[in-house]
Amino acid sequence: MRTALALFEVRRLLRSPLLWAAAALAVTWRATMTWQMMPNWSLEAVHTATATLIVGAAALVAANLVTTRDRRDGIREALAALPVRAPARTSAAVVATCAVAVLGATAATLLLLATLSVDAVPAGRLDVYELCGGVAAVALAAALGVALGRWIPHPMAPLVAIFLLGMAMIVGAGGRLLPVVFVWDMPVHLSRPSGLHVVYVCALVVLAGAAALLRYGPRPARVTAAVTALAVAAGVTTATAGEAQDVPAATQHCERRGDLTYCAFPGYEPWIALWAGAVEPVARALPPAARAHLPQIRQRAGGDMEFYLPQADADRSVRPGQTWGRNGGETAYRRTLAARTAAAITGLPWGGRNSQVDSLSCDARDQARTVVALWLAGHTAAQRLPVDVEIIRKFGNRRVGTMGRSDMGWVDYSAAELEYSRHLLARPGARQAVWEHWDRLLDPRTTVRQALPLLGLRPLPATYSALPADRMREEACP
Partner 1 sequence: MRVARLMLRPLARTIDWTPLAVSALLTVPLALFAGAGADPGPALYYAVVLLRLSAILIGAAAGFVLVDPLAAGTGPVPVPRWLRQGVRALLGVAAGTLIWACVFTVVRSRLPGVPLPLAGLAAEAGVCLALALACTASTLRRYPDRPAALVGAVVLSGVLAATLFLRGDASPWIMPGEPGWEEVHRVWLAVSPLPVIWLAVANRDLR
Interaction between residue 170 and partner 1 (CB under 8 A): yes
65 vs 98 by CB, closer to partner 1: 65
Which amino acid, residue 233?
Answer: A
Interaction between residue 165 and partner 1 (CB under 8 A): no
CB 278 within 8 A of CB 332: no
Can you tell me which of 160, 234, 247, 466 binds partner 1, judged by CB under 8 A? 160
Can you tell me the distance from the alpha carbon of 404 to that of 414, in angstroms, rounded to the nearest whole number?
10
Residue whose C-alpha is closest to residue 270's, from 281, 255, 285 = 255
For the bound state, the minimum distance from the C-beta of residue 54 to partner 1, rounded and expressed in Å, comes to: 6
21 vs 121 by CB, closer to partner 1: 21
Query: Cα-flanking dihedrals φ and ψ of residue 471, to 5°?
Result: -70, 135
Interaction between residue 98 and partner 1 (CB under 8 A): no
Cα radius of gyration rounded to whole Å, the chain: 30
For the bound state, the minimum distance from the C-beta of residue 67 to partner 1, rounded and expressed in Å, comes to: 11
Can you tell me which of 4, 32, 432, 476 binds partner 1, judged by CB under 8 A? 32
Can you tell me the distance from the alpha carbon of 471 to that of 401, in angstroms, rounded to the nearest whole number?
6
Q: What is the DSSP string of 22-68?
A: HHHHHHHHHHHHHTTB--BHHHHHHHHHHHTHHHHHHHHHHHHHHHG
Near partner 1 in 101-140, by CB under 8 A: none
8 vs 163 by CB, closer to partner 1: 163
Number of residues that bind partner 1 (CB under 8 A): 35
Near partner 1 in 35-64, by CB under 8 A: 54, 57-58, 61
Interaction between residue 387 and partner 1 (CB under 8 A): no
For the bound state, the minimum distance from the C-beta of residue 329 to partner 1, rounded and expressed in Å, comes to: 13
Binding mask 331-370 for partner 1 (x = CB under 8 A): ----------------------------------------
For the bound state, the minimum distance from the C-beta of residue 432 to partner 1, rounded and expressed in Å, comes to: 44
Can you tell me which of 1, 2, 4, 21 binds partner 1, judged by CB under 8 A? 21
For the bound state, the minimum distance from the C-beta of residue 137 to partner 1, rounded and expressed in Å, comes to: 16
Can you tell me the distance from the alpha carbon of 86 to that of 171, in angstroms, rounded to the nearest whole number?
38
Can you tell me the distance from the alpha carbon of 42 to that of 40, in angstroms, rounded to the nearest whole number?
6
| Helix, strand or coil, per DSSP, at residue 222 | helix
Binding mask 69-88 for partner 1 (x = CB under 8 A): ---xx---------------
| Helix, strand or coil, per DSSP, at residue 320 | coil
293 vs 393 by CB, closer to partner 1: 393
- Give the other-Cβ count within 10 Å of 399's Cβ: 11
For the bound state, the minimum distance from the C-beta of residue 163 to partner 1, rounded and expressed in Å, comes to: 5
- Give the other-Cβ count within 10 Å of 51's Cβ: 26
56 vs 281 by CB, closer to partner 1: 56
Interaction between residue 397 and partner 1 (CB under 8 A): yes
C-alpha distances (whole Å) from 113 to each of 47, 330, 436 are: 11, 20, 52
Interaction between residue 33 and partner 1 (CB under 8 A): yes
CB 85 within 8 A of CB 76: no
73 vs 315 by CB, closer to partner 1: 73
Near partner 1 in 138-157, by CB under 8 A: 154-156
Query: Cα-flanking dihedrals φ and ψ of residue 163, to 5°?
Result: -60, -45
Can you tell me the distance from the alpha carbon of 33 to that of 46, in angstroms, rounded to the nearest whole number?
14
Residue whose C-alpha is closest to residue 379's, from 338, 423, 432, 341 = 338
Interaction between residue 159 and partner 1 (CB under 8 A): yes
| Helix, strand or coil, per DSSP, at residue 475 | strand
Interaction between residue 18 and partner 1 (CB under 8 A): yes
For the bound state, the minimum distance from the C-beta of residue 116 to partner 1, rounded and expressed in Å, comes to: 15
Can you tell me the distance from the alpha carbon of 101 to that of 22, in angstroms, rounded to the nearest whole number?
11
Interaction between residue 468 and partner 1 (CB under 8 A): no
| Helix, strand or coil, per DSSP, at residue 260 | strand
| Helix, strand or coil, per DSSP, at residue 308 | coil
Can you tell me which of 25, 84, 86, 433 binds partner 1, judged by CB under 8 A? 25
17 vs 478 by CB, closer to partner 1: 17
Can you point out the beta strands (E) in 265-386? Answer: 297-298, 362-363
Residues that bind partner 1 in the complex, under the rule CB under 8 A:
18, 21-22, 25-26, 28-29, 32-33, 54, 57-58, 61, 65, 68, 72-73, 154-156, 158-160, 162-164, 166-167, 170-171, 390, 392, 394-395, 397
